[in-house]
Amino acid sequence: MFYIQVLTPGIWLVVDYQEKEFDYRITGERWTLCRSGSTTKPLSQQPLDGLWTRLAPVPTPRAEVAAAELNGKIYVFGGFGAGARANEEYDIAADLWRKRAPIPRGVDHAAAVALDGKVYLIGGFNGRFQPVDTVWSYNPESDAWTPLADLPTPRGGLGAAVIAGKIYAVGGVGPGGDVGTTEVYDPSTDSWESRAEMPSPRDHLALSVVDGRIYVIGGRLGSYAQNLADNEVYDPATDNWDVNEPLPTSRSGIASGAVGGKIYVFGGESTAGTFDENERYDTATGGWARAPGLPTARHGHAAVALGQRIYVLAGGPTPGGSQSSQNEVYIVLPREGP
């Protein structure tokens, strides 16, 4: 765990779990890392993108979860094992959890978004790796679930996003395998429509929105032995897809969050193990860079961006069906340059 203390304006003292001291200073408008302590190696100084710290753990250990933020609370839904019906609410300001009304039907590998005071839970698997078409809205005020119009294409391992009051569901595994399906839901009519298909069908992908466009990154074709690095962007205004610079490290079972026009892609799994990678995509320049890696390598986690912070929750520490209660936040620091 990192403990952060502001000593004076512009100077922070950070002590990590190994009890080594780090002194973070602003040089001009850049953050730099000065390492100190007992070592025979030269002290180093480098630009610093962000910091990690650990928060109150998710009450029910799980992986392949869905999560979304609404009014300062993060809702973590479903997952493998005992968490299949779990609905747990994290109060960001208080760093506290509480259990809420369980999902009417257990699900894993679903997608979640928040819109107009409700959280929507879309698709997923039924616990036997069979894709489902169920869509629910959850109202935190009444702690109640409402069934909605079915997803036209049943699928799990998909991504979802909100743009201009509508919900987009992209990719995943359908009854016949991986799909590039893009479908949009209108809450005002409780109805779905089809949109242009994603060029690269895939599942276990990462999805983020920047400037009204949907970026879909990484994923796989059926198995983590077939990981992908694809990076494609969808523009709802034109109903068109474009291809971008691929993810440097092919990964699946990943999650992402966007801060300031940059998308951070966390974790994942492969036949070799789980990833702690955190790779940053700049939507303005189209370039990739490495950022400080996850404290806990894992897959099947959820990521939720809020302000300058990205919360990374739950996930499996080893490939397959492993589970954890990890709750780690990445704090993006002010910086200049690429």
81-90 pLDDT tens trace: 889 999 999 9
Largest Cα separation within the chain, whole Å, is 67
Kindly list the structural domains of the chain, giving each domain's residue range(s) and its CATH number in brackets, ordered by start: 3-48 (no CATH), 57-328 (2.120.10.80)
Q: How confident is the model at residue 337 (pLDDT cuts 50, 70, 90)?
A: low
pLDDT tens figures, 23-61: 333 333 344 444 444 444 443 445 689 999 999 999 999
What count of Cα atoms within 13 Å lies in the side-chain half-sphere of residue 150? Answer: 7
Q: Which two three-digit tokens encode residue 138?
A: 């959850």
pLDDT tens figures, 288-307: 999 999 999 999 999 999 99
Cα–Cα nearest to 64, from 280, 224, 249, 233: 224
Q: Has residue 19 got a pLDDT over 50?
A: no
Q: What is the pLDDT of residue 42?
A: 47
Q: What is the pLDDT of residue 11?
A: 44
Percent of the chain with pLDDT over 90: 84
Q: What is the pLDDT of residue 186?
A: 99
The C-alpha atoms of residue 24 and residue 307 are separated, in whole angstroms, by 21
Q: Judge contact between 264 and 310, C-beta under 8 A.
A: yes
Q: Judge contact between 326 and 58, C-beta under 8 A.
A: yes
Q: Has residue 152 got a pLDDT over 60?
A: yes
Q: What is the pLDDT of residue 79?
A: 98
Q: What is the pLDDT of residue 336?
A: 58
State the chain's mean pLDDT as an integer.
90
pLDDT tens figures, 240-254: 999 999 999 999 999
- List, edge to edge, every strand of the sheet that includes 278-282: 255-259, 262-266, 278-282, 288-290
